[in-house]
A = this chain, B = another copy of it.
Amino acid sequence: MTLSVENAAPIYIQLVQQIKEAIISGDLQPGERLPSVRDLALQNKVNPNTMQKALLELETTGLIYTERTNGKFVTTDKVRIEQERAAFAAAVSAQYRAQMARIGFGPADILTYLTKGENK
C-alpha cells in the first residue's frame, strides 16, 4: 500500500480553475467584463500579482482577453468556451470512473449510484 500526501495546488492555479469554471458554467457570460485585477485580488484576499498571473494564464489559453486601460473580458468565442466545457466534463467523468473502478464498481454499478441519488 502506497499513499501520497498532496500539497495544495498553487493559489494562482486554483484561481485559474475557478474562474474557468465560472466561464464554462455561464456564471461569467461571453464578453462580460471582469472586475479589475485589483478588485479581484482584494475580494479573494490574494496579492494583485498572483491574481494577475492567474488572469495571464487564462489569457494565453484564450478564455479571456484584455483591452488595455479598459479591463479584461471573457472571450466572445462561444466555440472556444464550449470546447473548454466539453474538455472539463470529459476530465471530470474520467476521474469519476477511475475512482469508482478503484473500489470495484464497474459501469453497471455506476448507473445504480447515479440514478439512486437523482431525486435528491
Contacts and interface: CB of A to CB of B under 8 A. Distances in A.
Contacts of A117: 90, 93-94, 97
B1 A5 contact: no
Interface string A24-67: 11111000000100000001111000000000000010000000
Given A5-B44, A22-B1, A114 B97 contact: yes
A89 B97 contact: no
Nearest to A99: B92
Given A8-B6, A15-B5, A43-B2, A120 B105 contact: no
Contact of A89 (B3, B4, B11, B109): B109
Contacts of A105: 89
